[in-house]
Amino acid sequence: MSAGQEALWLAHQLDPHSSAFNVVLAVRVRSPLARARLERAVTALAERHELLRSTFTMTAAGRHVRALRAADSVQLDVRPVPGASDAELFDLARRAGEEPFALETSGAFRVVLLTRAPGDAVLVTAAHHLVTDATSQWLLMRDLLRLYEDPGASLPAVLPWDDRVRAEQQLTASARGERAREHWRTVCASLAGAELLSDHPRPAQRTLNGATHTLELPATLGARVQSSAAAHGITPFAWLLGTFQAALYRFGCGTDFLVGCPATTRSVPGSRDAVGYYVNILPIAARFEATPTFGDVISAAARQMLAGMTHNGLPTELCDALPPLPVTFTLVAADRLPVPGLFDGPVRHAGLDLELVDVPQQEGQLDLTVEMLQSGSRFTALLRYNRDLFLPETVERLAGIYRLMVEASVEDPGQPVTRPAVVAENDLAFLLSLGSGAA
């Protein structure tokens, strides 16, 4: 296993019945499906991507072991649901994705087909995070549909997972790996991960109970983010990351902290089309002691991301003395996803009429994970949080502050991050009345 996989395996052992690390992609199929063809496509998919037919255990000596099963051990699970309403069908898709995995015996992947009527079904692919990531889930859906359409399709070669693990081990033991460790030690020196003030006492044992708050940025605001980022020679991601750090600061996370940024490690040949856990979490520092401007914070985030990607091959799990990162922020570009058009609406693909079923998933992994989805100039933030720590209204308030920080940053990047008011006028009047003793 890779270092990242070992960390995820241990997280699974702490709560093997949790769905917090299940990565799900559900698609409504409004075309007749040939069951036998789909079953063959599932087998071919498992043969192509070995992690989808792997089991994971630990030996008595404490060594993590991955074992391969036959490709036909991964079976299509067909569940007839005649008469189900749209709401019931959505709930069934959600629950199919949430079912826990028995990593030691049956592996980390399933394909469920919910059939309501001929030409009306939901195809659900679910995998534990230690065998997939956001890109992988779309890759496997692309390959599954391609193999269904054409069983003899020629698909790009993929990197064997053991080669990926060996390359990681070689880098870890090299001089380049030591330079990466030193880089992350410098970045994280004297800093802790961002920590939001919780509404409930932190449980003695970590829990994985989660929920999601969705923040839609107006397309006009998204377009301004893109144009502002281009004018400053940086990416929209860096702009949105810097403003998120400003929101955390204004929310009360302190003056100096770290935010984790999941970044892809698909840099070697054969990895771009492979299903697997190709992710490393980069610690990005935020410093607000000197009351910086939005431009200062955003530029610092851009510089750190650029430097961090240079050392991205080394798993930060292997860097000694790095602090936990309970808050993470990442961006997924929908226009680069392997099934074109599916994110934005109904699409004809592989001879089928398809529509995305956006089921909740990956909730409660950390205190807060923010996934920013980009489609053109439209940005949607999914704030997934641990509901044993935070009330929904607390996360909603943070989302409101974040939107305000984005708006203020494009309005005037040169203004201090402390200038925008983060209290609504009616709330401010109420607070002032308390201070004056008014009834």
CB 53 within 8 A of CB 109: yes
What's the rounded Cα separation, in Å, for the pair 359 and 123? Answer: 12
What's the rounded Cα separation, in Å, for the pair 118 and 104? Answer: 36
CB 162 within 8 A of CB 152: no
Half-sphere exposure of 231 (CA within 13 A, CB side): 10
What's the rounded Cα separation, in Å, for the pair 412 and 54? Answer: 52
What's the rounded Cα separation, in Å, for the pair 299 and 439? Answer: 46
pLDDT more than 90, % of the chain: 88
Q: Tell me the two tokens of residue 152.
A: 């003899």
Burial 334-362 (b: 16+ CB within 10 A, else e): beebbbeebbeeebebbebebebbbbbbb
In the structure, what pLDDT confidence band is assigned to residue 430 with cuts at 50, 70 and 90? Answer: very low
pLDDT digits 0-9 by tens, 333-388? 988 888 989 988 899 999 999 999 999 999 999 999 999 999 999 999 999 999 99
What's the rounded Cα separation, in Å, for the pair 107 and 75? Answer: 12
Nearest to 122 by CA among 309, 358, 327, 398: 358
CB 149 within 8 A of CB 45: no
pLDDT more than 70, % of the chain: 96
In the structure, what pLDDT confidence band is assigned to residue 435 with cuts at 50, 70 and 90? Answer: low
Q: Tell me the two tokens of residue 345.
A: 């609406």
Q: Decide: helix, strand or coil at residue 120.
A: strand
Average pLDDT over residues 396-415: 98
Query: Which amino acid makes up residue 290?
Result: A
Strand bridging mode 109-117 / 120-128: antiparallel
pLDDT digits 0-9 by tens, 177-193? 999 999 999 999 999 99
Average pLDDT over residues 63-87: 96
In the structure, what pLDDT confidence band is assigned to residue 428 with cuts at 50, 70 and 90? Answer: very low
CB 164 within 8 A of CB 351: no
Residue with more model confidence, 269 or 148: 148
pLDDT digits 0-9 by tens, 114-137? 999 999 999 999 999 999 999 999
Average pLDDT over residues 290-314: 96
Q: Across the chain, what does the average pLDDT equal? A: 94
Residue 129 has what pLDDT? 97
Q: Tell me the two tokens of residue 38.
A: 């789909």
What's the rounded Cα separation, in Å, for the pair 439 and 428? Answer: 15
Run of H or E residues at 229: helix 219-231
CB 212 within 8 A of CB 363: yes
Report whether pLDDT(9) > 90.
yes
Q: Tell me the two tokens of residue 213.
A: 């708050």
Average pLDDT over residues 23-42: 97
Nearest to 80 by CA among 70, 89, 71: 89
Nearest to 325 by CA among 278, 271, 374, 279: 279
Q: How far, in Å, are 101, 142, 183, 200 from residue 171 at the CA level?
A: 31, 31, 15, 42
Average pLDDT over residues 254-267: 95
Report whether pLDDT(431) > 70.
no
Determine phi and psi for 112, rounding to 5 degrees. -120, 135
Query: Which amino acid makes up residue 40?
Result: R
